[in-house]
Amino acid sequence: MTTAVSEKTLQNTVLLMVLLNAFTTPLTLSAANVALPTIADDLVMSAVALGWVPMAYLMASAMFVLPFGGLADRIGRKRVFLLGTAAVIASSVMAALAMNAPMLLTARFLQGVSAAMLYATQLAIVSSVFPAQRRGQIVGLVVSSIYVGLATGPLLGGLMIDLFGWRSAFLLQVPLAIVVLLIGVFKVNGEWSADRKTPFDSVGAMTYSGSILLLCLAVSRLPAVDGLLLLAGGTISMLLFVRHALRIPFPIWDIRLFFTNRVFTLSCAASLIMYSATYANVVLISLFLQYLKGMSASQAGMIMMLQPLCMAVLSPLTGRLSDRIEPRVLASVGMAVTALGLLMLARLDSGSSVTVIVLALLMTGAGFALFSSPNVNAIMGSVLPQQLGSASGAVATTRLLGQLTSMVLVSLMLTMAMGDTAIDPASYPLLEQTIRNSFGLAAALCIPGILLSMVRGRIHTSTVKETP
């Protein structure tokens, strides 16, 4: 009895620790997006430099989530999780104290590295503690906490920015992160790692991370010659990573599933496209509402929270619905609804009513909710039990790569249209056109995504996982 009570206490403590962390990380991420116009004015940043504030974070997260996942399996998941929590606290304080653009971008990069430690271990820790029959329920709670954080960030961040300035947006998560750290150090006993230790794929980690870095740096330099050279270097590095991953028995990211499972591959491709089309919406809407509509940070935050709030409410419902209806149908309809919402946003101008913006955000939020949970269900339901780890890694990695791609595309649009121009009333027409073009490109991206989603195949045909 004592053992059972102790195990139950451990499970509840671990769940509290992870849920708090899952809430706080996206809280600051979305709050920082509301702060962008204020940051630009205070630190005198151009439109292109401002785009790097969210992109530096995403680039670092995408670069390091796979290496930290592999490292956590070897040295302990709790150890990497707590190290990441401590690093988030330090890097958040560094961002709040930044006196110029280079200091802020450095802090954002370090925040991304810290977040990668958390992304790589959150689900792995709860999966290690809870039995398999409760895993789906617990994962659902973690995902819901992430969406609640995304929805709360714009509102709470906007209020803090109006009252205390943009620096406060980076300190929102610090008190709760300290609580998480204290819980992990003093209340959570034990450690979890992989049952079977395999060699760490250092070559794969370097080529993968290097390719992400080179491709992102290329965006800020295109169409200059050095930008093209960086683009070529990033492409070559990514091809070398793929070649290496297919040749060794234990790569840092097992991509063999992409070559053997049609449902899995097309579902991941649809996820990549969906995140590429939608993630930068919050940045574009923040710029639009505060620059072109003249709203305060808190007013903009109240509107921006509607999309993630819609996602938080509907995602659990669509997940359960996908157990009865083919995920490809629900996800394809969701992407189509999202495309319509993006088309509405592509027609915005400074005279557009707030009602139109609200309707478009609710539509994109509902469409994403209709897509996300069913698509994850399709990915996880298309593989054999022994492949669930690789499939889970693919879900996280394609999400981060899609988010990064979304910001890369917007940064490229800003670079091509505005260059190093400061955002001021004289450049508002250029900013307005760039925002419309970005939303139009996002809507266009959904078209191949819908097609890939529709032809992916079925997962409810039998109990046997589908492979070609």
Q: What pairs with residue 422 in β-bridges?
A: 46
Which long-range contacts does 263-266 make (Cβ < 8 Å, 24+ apart)? 263/378, 263/382, 263/456, 263/457, 263/458, 263/459, 263/466, 264/379, 264/382, 264/383, 264/391, 264/394, 266/452, 266/453, 266/455, 266/456, 266/457
Identify the three-state secondary structure at position 218. helix
* Omega within 30 of 0 (cis) for the link into 223: yes
Number of residues that make up the chain: 468
What does each C-alpha distance from 114 to 117, 159, 355 come to in angstroms?
5, 26, 38
What does each C-alpha distance from 424 to 4, 33, 287, 418 come to in angstroms? 63, 18, 12, 12
Q: Which of 152, 136, 189 is nearest to 17 (CA)?
A: 189
Helix (H, G, I), strand (E, B), or coil: what is residue 46?
A: strand
DSSP state of 440: H
Per-residue confidence (pLDDT) for residue 141, from 0 to 100: 75
Tokens of 113: 């590295």
Among 173, 161, 153, smallest CA distance to 312 is for 153
Among candidate residues 291, 76, 64, the one with its CA nearest the CA of residue 188 = 76
User: Please, what sign has the CA dihedral across residues 207, 213, 214, 219?
Assistant: positive
Give pLDDT, residue 132: 63
46, 421 Cβ separation under 8 angstroms:
yes
First to last CA, the chain: 48
- pLDDT of 450 reads 93
Q: What is the DSSP letter of 97?
A: T
CA-based Rg of the chain, rounded to a whole angstrom? 21
With CA atoms as reference, report the closest residue to 358 among 313, 314, 304: 304
> Cβ distance 109 to 142 under 8 Å?
no
Q: Is 253 left (phi over 0), alpha (psi -120 to 50) or beta?
A: beta
For residue range 120-153, list pLDDT tens digits in order.
888 778 777 777 666 656 766 777 788 788 888 8
What string of DSSP letters covers 4-36?
HHHHHHHHHHHHHHHHHHHHHHHHHHHHHHHTH
Per-residue pLDDT of the chain (468 residues; tens, 9 = 90+): 445 557 778 888 888 898 898 888 888 888 888 888 899 889 988 877 888 898 899 899 889 988 888 888 778 888 899 999 999 999 999 999 999 999 999 999 999 999 999 888 887 787 777 776 666 567 667 777 887 888 888 888 888 998 999 999 999 889 999 999 999 888 888 777 765 567 888 899 999 999 999 988 887 777 778 888 998 999 999 999 999 989 998 888 878 878 888 888 898 899 999 999 998 888 899 889 989 998 998 888 889 888 888 887 887 778 778 778 888 888 999 999 999 999 999 998 888 899 999 999 999 999 988 888 788 778 777 777 656 556 666 777 888 888 888 888 888 888 787 777 778 888 888 889 999 999 999 999 999 999 998 888 777 654 434 444
Q: Which residues pair with 46 in a beta bridge?
A: 422
Provide the pLDDT for residue 346: 94
Rounded CA gap, 389 and 255, in Å? 12
CB-CB neighbours of 357 under 10 Å: 20
- Read off the tokens for 368: 């994403």
Give the phi and the psi of residue 108 in degrees, each rounded to 5: -65, -40
pTM score, whole prediction: 0.82
- What are the structure tokens assigned to 400, written together? 């981060």
Cα–chain-centroid distance for residue 413?
Answer: 20
Quickly count: other Cβ atoms within 10 Å of residue 283's Cβ: 25
Q: Which two tokens stand for residue 317?
A: 């419902």
In angstroms, the CA 28 to CA 169 distance is 7
Which distant-in-sequence residues (6+ apart) come within 8 Å of 94 by Cβ? 103, 106, 107, 110
DSSP state of 422: B
Helix (H) or strand (E) holding 180: helix 174-186
